[in-house]
Amino acid sequence: MNSRRTIYRRFKSRTILGLMAFTFLLALVPLVSLLWTLAANGAATVTPHFLTASWAPVGENGGIAHAIAGSLSLLALASVVAVPLGLANGIYLARRAPTRLAHLTRLLLDVTSGIPAIIVGVFIYTVVVRREGFSLGIGFSMVAGGLALAMIMLPIFARTSEEAIRAIPRAVEEAGLALGLPRRRVILRIILRAAVPSIFTGLFLSLARVAGEAAPLLFTAFGSNDWPASPLKPVSSLPQLLFDYARQPFDELVRQAWGAALVLVAIILLIRTATFVYLRWRYSKGASIA
135-153 confidence digits (pLDDT tens): 999 999 999 999 999 999 9
Q: Which CATH architecture has domain 67-237?
A: Orthogonal Bundle (1.10)
Is 240's pLDDT higher than 70?
yes
Distance in angstroms (rounded) separating the CA atoms of residues 274 and 290: 21
What is the pLDDT confidence band of residue 1, given thresholds at 50, 70 and 90?
low
Q: Give CA angle at 122 (120, 127), nearest 5°.
A: 95
Q: Give the total residue count for the chain.
A: 290
Reduced to 3 states (helix: H, G, I; strand: E, B; else coil), residue 243 is helix
In the chain, DSSP finds a helix count (H) and a strand count (E) of 12, 0
Indicate the range of 133-142, 165-174, 235-244, 247-256 predicted with least confidence: 165-174
Domain range list for the chain: 67-237
Is 120's pLDDT higher than 90?
yes
Reduced to 3 states (helix: H, G, I; strand: E, B; else coil), residue 93 is helix
pLDDT of residue 283: 73
What is the pLDDT confidence band of residue 285, given thresholds at 50, 70 and 90?
low
Please give the residue that has the higher pLDDT: either 251 or 280.
251
Residues 6+ apart with CB under 8 A from 260: 42, 64, 67, 238, 241, 242, 245
pLDDT of residue 176: 87
